Amino acid sequence: MTVTLFKAVCSTGQSFTPLFLSPLSLLTDSKKQLRIGRSSGSESKYRVRAMPCSSPVVSADNGALRNFKLNESTFLASLMPKKEIGADRFLEAHPNFDGRGVVIAIFDSGVDPAAAGLQVTSDGKPKILDVIDCTGSGDIDTSNVVKADADGCIRGASGATLIVNSSWKNPSGEWHVGYKLVYELFTDTLTSRLKTERKKKWDEKHQEAVAEAVKQLDEFDKKHVKVEDAQLKRVHEDLQNRVEYLRKQTDSYDDKGPVIDAVVWHDGEVWTVALDTQSLEDDPERGKLADFVPLTNYRIERKFGIFSSLDACSFVVNVYDEGKILSVVTDSSPHGTHVGGIATAFHPKEPLLNGVAPGAQLISCKIGDSRLGSMETGTGLIRALIAAVEHKCDLINMSYGEATLLPDYGRFVDLVDEVVNKHRLIFVSSAGNSGPALSTVGAPGGTTSSIIGVGAYVSPAMAAGAHCVVEPPSEGLEYTWSSRGPTADGDLGVCISAPGGAVAPVPTWTLQRRMLMNGTSMSSPNACGGIALLVSAMKAEGIPVSPYTVREALENTCTPIGGLPEDKLSTGQGLMQVDKAHEYIQKLHGLPCVRYQIKIIQSGKSTPTSRGIYLREASTYQQSTEWTVEVEPKFHEDASNLEQLVPFEECIELRSTGKACVKAPEYLLLTHNGRSFNVVVDPTSLSEGLHFYELYGIDCKAPWRGPLFRIPITITKAHAVKNRPALISFSGMSFVPGHIERRYIEVPIGASWVEGTMRTSGFDTARRFFVDTVQMSPLKRPMKWENVVTFSSPSAKSFAFPVEGGRTMELVVAQFWSSGIGSHETAIVDFEIGFHGINTNKEEVVLDGSEAPVRIDAEALLSSEKLVPAAILNKIRIPYRPTDAKLHTLSSDRDKLPSGKQILALTLTYKFKLEDGAEVKPQVPLLNNRIYDNKFESQFYMISDLNKRVYGMGDVYPSSTKLPKGEYILQLYLRHDNMQYLEKMKQLVLFIERNLEDKEIIRLSFYSQPDGPVMGNGNFKSSVLMPGVKEAFYVGPPTKDKRPKNSPEGSVLLGIISYGKLSFGVKEEGKNPEKNPVSYQILYQVPPNKLDEDKGKSTTVACTKSVSERLEEEVRDAKIKVLGSLKQGTDEERAEWKQLSTSLKSEYPKYTPLLARILEGLVSQSIGEEKIPHYEEIINAADEVINSIDRDELAKYFALKNDPEDEEAEKQKKKMETTREQLAEALYQKGLAMAEIESLKGEEASALVSNEGVNVVRDDQSVPESHPDPFEENFKELKKWVDVKSSKYGTLFVIRERRCGRLGTALKVLNDMIQENDPPKKKLYELKISLLDQIGWGHLVSYERQWMHVRFPPSLPLF
């Protein structure tokens, strides 16, 4: 790899210093990974989970060490674990099979090409073959093309003048320009560091300005003890305004970051890129465009750059769509580099810290979107798959995922199946970090058949070395937080396990070389690196590489972790062993490459199909059940019909680990078309608790192969709570560090929440426990409750959480693995659970918009409960249809599927308006909250104002965005290769959900009578429900006066309603349903607004004008209307407008509305080279308007009061108000034109006299009467009619203060105007920058110019 550094960077050549990091230095800051992890207390940024207590490991080959001590070499080896999976033994025997010839695609947050150990492979080849931002978060629109002037200068997209290096080849002479706010390319952590550094420098300059402003004010006050002169008062006010402005600027400082200009051109061979990064540098001579060493697409030259020495952030570039799109690729968190380092890092001087496969190469496919805090998007996932196939990768590692409601389902899963089955890529992924409860594996790693899902294992050496524990466990075991199977459809979930922690490389911007992280995010690349060793060997030995062969070898050579059958739900088939898998593959050579697809369905039913048998609910294990199992061999798509499919025939012996309750045929003859057989499961004689069995098939001709396929059978036989009240206790549970206890309970029908008490005893030092519960429901993600509780001494703690009656609940209590280490006392835990519930006849309460209340029937089935209903409406949801829908084909550069299908994009545009500032969240019910279990490929939205300023972005998990009042545009971007699907979405309904302010929240009332809402009587407060006795009450709709303003017809008010009360008490009970353990949705449909009583009334006013007079007026007004509609974009159009205006003016010379319309037309004209004549024409037109109005009559009219009941008087009032507005507008435009002429002529309006060291000397009183100031006279006249400080006319006031040298006052008024303007006007901010520049506050000028790129971008960013 050729590495080009454009800025000085921190040296990475220093020797490694051992890192002693606490267990808090854990997993990535990737927000997406946090969706499948857990956070707690002060460690909320990371996932910290306990080690489980498993049965002893049956083999010592997995890294278990008894009574061992670390030395330097074993310590370093523990930081990058390889011995545990047999990789060290394999490499000792086969040093050249270290990943050479293998390419791994890392689907993650991005891999830093500058990170330690990621430059070259063990055999000297480039380590990273390509670096791709699959999300589009680093895309820059470079479709704008410019030409260089005679001096070799071009105008950058940011507006800066850029000098092009004369040595750069550009045959076409066309330069594509674009720009980017650099913080959009950085992680939050890096941005925070840079903001801190930049703020220090800004503060220094700002304090200088503050000190100077205070000094000037102080000197003035000392010289003028008593100020009575009006002019001096204004001078003093101006000085005060300067100080106040600087003070407010200190409080409102918000660094949006520097802007970098990007230039793209074709040098005759390749697309080439240069960046101007001067705004990142303190030295104005550094970062210039001409000094940049040009880059091209990374895969061509494999060069990267560094933005500046301050950020130390590396980047690469890729150009797409014929130079129209530039992708600047940075990582979105350290996670991806860490993952890539575990799999492939090569440190020639520190071999113990090598990754598992130092000879392997990789491509970095960034799927973590920087705009979303590193969460993955559908776009990123699909583009990553395209890139992996295009680069002919052998393996994919993906350490991302989340919970899912449908396993092995969705658009991404379909494409993964194609990539694995057709293109033979081996896909490895993390199982998730949501353990220790069952059925917590995440998608895609733990739920997808074609993916090898990896659990996280920790060895004693890792615990002692990487985690620095005082007393490591005596045996290796699975981390407690590692997600468990089975999946909802019974599949095992976890395939294999691998070490789940490492000290591995991280990006240079972290200012360190390595970092400790742990999680299944780390176990997956460890396994992937181990598989790379196998693939390297297979290629070298001429063995065809197949994901089917590799998976069979891995699963059948694992070292079991734990001795109980159910341990497989935690660890999969066990800890992978590279050397044994290699031996297996060698023996397997020559046998068919085939996978065995399992489909299971309960006899007598047509749906659903499953991949295992999972008997979790009481109805499934109270009697025997019969299941039909279909086993179908699946070959790769390129398999030969005659040579592979037809001859395929296997004699299978079926074996069961649970013969007492699982009955199946003994043998099976399997051909290419598959075979079905029946299985009977009889769990009736099983004891309460967890039971796990496997039914597996053995090749009769080659039994050494082990199981060819496995059918997991999981039974959780729950304890039925029959006593009333419904209480259950688990006493005397003993805990040592890392121990886990599981209990299964059949939640009584009628229960909706649990109140639990956990009592501890028998220990001295503090103990920390994880308490989880999980319930499963069809087509829902697992219903999980989790808590982390610390006992500083033996005591009791109470919990409350929702449950679903009639379904099995797993209760898991685990002592945190390092809690209590050093103390050999056993903690004793007693856990008591009480089930409570109030059943109602309505799962969701809907108030239909009428005045009628809704009746609710309530009943307690388990025990007496206090009925305390409470309901609030705290959100409003307004529906919108698209105002525009555009469908287009995406570029084939990165959006063409391996199948050859082209991806299409649909952009839907919605418009909405906020009358007040609010926090809003867009909702698309059809698409939200599903990434992997969604047949739609991708969605992304962007909210912007009319100035194109972007306020918010999001994807399937919309987030709340704070918006000021104003009009907004929301664009929703959908992708798919099927045009018909997108066509159906062109009228997709989107909801804008807004949180109501505290004062707007509606608390609903309850009644014991149906007429209560109208009559105001029969209020219902509370009651005691006796078991089996129903009670009814009513919930009333909100009254009209309580409904929030801006709640149009068709909108819905949303909230929650609760009925019960905790026995141990909660503050605000009966008032706030959010305080209760279980609540339900309530909504109110906003009815049509009341008809306007005045609407439809005829307003017949006697008309005294003749028909001919009325006709003449109508014709006149029609002519003026036509004049106003004429465009003036071209010279011909302006000539036509001029001709008509002159004609009309000669026809109606004194008609004020016509003259005002002519003035309006002149103002709207684009200004050519002859600027002064144009402004003089405006002044003349304004004078004509002014002279056409009898100002004395107008003044007299507004001095009188009018009778509002007199319709004729009201009509006259409107006419006179219009005339006043026309007069004010004419005076205003005249003043602006006069100021422009002064500026253009470069003449000072008056002699500026230095007064007290401040350029504030003149106003209207200082001008001698013999020399009247036309501008001042005009301003005085305007001041008579309107508030000159208002947002409409304030610009002239600002100009006037500026003419007088009172720049502080001008700034104050201008700031007030900016606050009132909606949306903000660019001209006002440009005027603000001009004032700041004139005062000499350069640091504020730079600050405001940076903000201009945020407030007024030339176009919306790319999706």
In the numeric block, the tokens 């405001």 are attached to 1344
73 flagged as catalytic:
no
Q: Report, in this order, helix, strand and coil percent for the chain, each rounded to 5.
A: 30, 25, 45
Straight-line distance from the first to the last Cα atom of the chain, in angstroms, rounded to the nearest whole number: 31
Of 317, 460, 314, 339, residue with least CA distance to 397: 339
Tell me which DSSP letter residue 515 carries. Answer: E
- Identify the helix (H) or strand (E) that includes residue 678: strand 675-681
Q: What is the DSSP letter of 258?
A: -
* 8 Å CB contact between 990 and 924: yes
Kind plus residue range of the DSSP H or E element containing 1207: helix 1207-1241
Distance CA 1076, CA 1070 (A): 9
- CA-wise closest residue to 291 among 55, 7, 642: 7
3-class state of residue 1205 by DSSP: coil
Helix (H, G, I), strand (E, B) or coil at 140: strand
Task: DSSP for 1219-1268, please give it.
Answer: HHHHHHHHHHHHHHHHHHHHHHHT--SS----BTTBS----GGGS-TTS-
Cα distance between residue 994 and residue 913, in whole Å: 12
Annotation marks residue 895 as catalytic: no
Q: Which of 54, 279, 459, 521 is catalytic?
A: 521
The helix/strand/coil state of 969 is strand
In 560-706 the beta strands, taken as DSSP E runs, fall at: 595-602, 613-615, 625-634, 649-656, 662-663, 667-671, 675-681, 689-699
A 10 A CB-CB count for 1135 gives 11
Between CA 846 and CA 1047 the distance in angstroms is: 17
CB atoms within 10 A of CB 665: 13
CA-to-CA distance for 1111 and 1119, rounded, in angstroms?
12
408 in catalytic set? no
Q: How far is CA 985 from CA 452, 927, 992, 1150, in A?
A: 35, 11, 18, 56
What is the rounded distance in angstroms from the CA atom of residue 1308 to the CA atom of residue 1324? 12
Q: Pull the structure tokens for residue 1058.
A: 């609760």
d(CA 76, CA 64): 17
b/e map 300-312, b = 16+ CB within 10 Å? eebbbbbbbeebb
Which listed residue (29, 61, 98, 108) is catalytic? 108
- Which residue in the list 206, 236, 335, 739 is annotated as catalytic? 335
Instruction: Compute the distance between CA of residue 480 and CA of residue 433 in angstroms, rounded to an integer.
Output: 9
Q: Are 162 and 149 a contacting pair, CB within 8 Å?
A: no
Both tokens of residue 273?
């890129």
- Angle of CA points 522, 526, 529, to nearest 5°: 140
Measured distance CA(34)–CA(951) in Å, rounded: 24
Q: Per DSSP, which regions of 1075-1233 are E strands?
A: 1080-1085
CA 1094/CA 1092 separation, integer angstroms: 5
User: Nearest CA to 982 among 1084, 902, 912, 1087?
Assistant: 902
Summary count for the chain: helices (H), strands (E): 28, 60
Q: How many residues are recorded in the chain?
A: 1359
Residues tagged active-site: 108, 335, 521
